[in-house]
Amino acid sequence: MLKAVILIGGPQKGTRFRPLSFEVPKPLFPVAGVPMLQHHIEACAKVPSMKEILLIGFYQPNEELTRFICSAQQEFKISIRYLQEYAALGTGGGIYHFRDQILSGGPEAFFIMNADVCSEFPLPEMLNFQKEHGEPSSFVILGTTANRKQSMNYGCIVENQQTNEVLHYVEKPSTFVSDIINCGIYLFTPEIFQHIGAVFQKNQQDMLLDEQTNGNGWHRAEAIRLEQDIFTALAGQGKLYVYKTPAFWSQIKSAGSAIYASRLYLNQYHKTHPERLATTEDGGPRISGNVYIHPTANIDPTAVLGPNVSIGTGVTIGAGVRVRESIILHGATLQDHSCVLNCIVGWDSTIGKWARVEGTPSDPNPNDPYAKIDSETLFRDGKLTPSITILGKLRILLPLTLLS
C-alpha cells in the first residue's frame, strides 16, 4: 500500500506569485486549465496501490480548498485529506508532525511532492528504481540536469555514477558542486522518520540549552528542512539514491513561470489528455499550437488563439482578438481587436477595444537543453526586471498600448 503527501505551503509563502496569490491559494492557481495541484493528484491516482493523498500546509481551511478536495476525490476516486500545520514547519517538520496520519494503515512507502513544481511525475519509474537500488528501506530523490550556472540555485546532488547513490548533497551552494539538481519529489519508506526524529531531538536539546544560556528559546524544534537537515546527513551512507528523469520539469515560483509550466503541460496533453486541446473548427476561432478552452468560454470565430494559451471559465473574447503565450482567468473579457501577448489576465478583468497588453517572456534559454527558468526578483540593480504582464482581479478598459 502506498500514500502520497503534497506540501502546499501557506499564505506567507509564494510572495513572488503575487498579486495572483491574493485571490486564490497558489496551489489552486490554474495551469493549463486545471488547478496546479490537480496535475500532482492525477499522477498519484494512476499509481497502483495508491490509497490516500495527504495535503500538508498552513493555509486556514477555506471554501476553495474544500471544494477542490471534494471535486478531486470524486473525479479520481481516491481519499484526499488536508492536514493543517499550526505554523510553517518546513519540508521535514510538517511530515514529522503528521507522521501518525502518514503511517496509518501501514504504507510500505510514500511519495513527498512539493506543490510548486511542474513535472511529468515519473512515480512508477521511481518505485521500480527503488526496488532495483540499495536496500528495501532506501530513499529516492527525483533529480534532473541543469546547466552549470543555474544549478547553484537548487539543491545539488553528487552521485556515484555506477550505483546512483547520493554521495554529497548541498542546498543552493555558493560555488559549483554538480549539475544534477533536486526536483522536490521524493520516495520514502517509514524509516525516514527515524532520521527526522533524530534531528527533532537535537533541535529540542539545542532549544533547551539556548533557553538556559541566553533565555532565547524562540527556535521551534519541529521546524525541520528535508534538504539541509536530512539529505545532507544521509548522503554517503548508502541510504539515499537519485533517479534522474529525462522528462520535463520546472519550478513554479513566479507568475512568469506559470505560463512556462502551462506550455509544458499543454504539450503533454497530446499524450495524456488530447480532449483538452482545442482545434480549429468551422464556426470557431483559429487555433495555432496548443490551446485549452473551457467549455463555458464565449469566443468570436474571428479570434486567433495560441500557441500556449489557456482560457478559463466564463471568458468572453471578441472579434479579431489575438492571444498568445497567456493565461486568461475566470470571467475576463477581451474586447474586439485587442491583443494579449505574454500575459496573465486576472479574474473579471476587461481589456478594451484595440488595446495591446504585452509582457516580456521569461522562458529558459532555448539553445541550452539543460536551462531552467530563472525566478527573477521584481527589481535587479535598481531597475525593474522585464517580465510578463499581470492583471490582477479588476476591471479595466485600455484604449492604448500597455507594455511591460
The mean per-residue pLDDT over the stretch 224-233 comes to 90
Helix or strand holding residue 131 (H, E): helix 123-132
CA–CA distance, 294 with 291 (Å, rounded to integer): 10
Considering only residues 67 and 200, tell me which one the structure prediction assigns the higher pLDDT. 67
Helix ranges, 167-231 (H): 192-214
pLDDT of residue 107: 95
Query: Would you state the cell numbers that stand for residue 176, as one nine-digit string?
Result: 559549483
The β-bridge partners of 324 are 341
Cβ atoms of residues 14 and 258 within 8 Å: no
The mean per-residue pLDDT over the stretch 169-195 comes to 94
CA–CA distance, 313 with 293 (Å, rounded to integer): 8
pLDDT of residue 256: 83
Q: Give residue 313's pLDDT band: very low, low, confident or very high (50, 70, 90).
A: very high
Q: Which residue has the cell 470565430?
A: 301
Whether 278-397 and 2-251 are alike in CATH topology: the answer is: no
The mean per-residue pLDDT over the stretch 256-269 comes to 94
The mean per-residue pLDDT over the stretch 292-296 comes to 97
How far is residue 176 from each of residues 157, 233, 373, measured CA to CA in Å? 11, 20, 18
Instruction: Give the start-to-end residue ranges of the domains of the chain.
Output: 2-251, 278-397
CATH number of 278-397: 2.160.10.10
How far is residue 309 from each of residues 222, 253, 258, 395, measured CA to CA in Å? 42, 19, 12, 21
What average pLDDT does the structure give for the chain?
Answer: 88
Judge whether residue 210 has pLDDT over 80: no
Judge whether residue 121 has pLDDT over 70: yes
Cβ atoms of residues 158 and 178 within 8 Å: yes
Q: Give residue 352's pLDDT band: very low, low, confident or very high (50, 70, 90).
A: very high
The mean per-residue pLDDT over the stretch 179-191 comes to 95
CA–CA distance, 26 with 34 (Å, rounded to integer): 12
Closest CA to 185 of 118, 90, 247, 88: 118
What angle separates helix 255-272 from helix 36-45, to the nearest 10 degrees? 40
Judge whether residue 217 has pLDDT over 50: no
Least confident range of 57-61, 75-79, 337-341, 386-390 = 386-390
pLDDT of residue 218: 44
N- to C-terminal Cα separation, the chain: 50
Pick one of 3.90.550.10, 3.30.70.360, 3.40.50.970, 1.10.1040.10 as the CATH number of 2-251.
3.90.550.10
pLDDT of residue 78: 95
The mean per-residue pLDDT over the stretch 125-153 comes to 88
pLDDT of residue 400: 52
- Cβ within 8 Å of residue 214, ≥6 positions away: none
Cβ atoms of residues 287 and 279 within 8 Å: yes
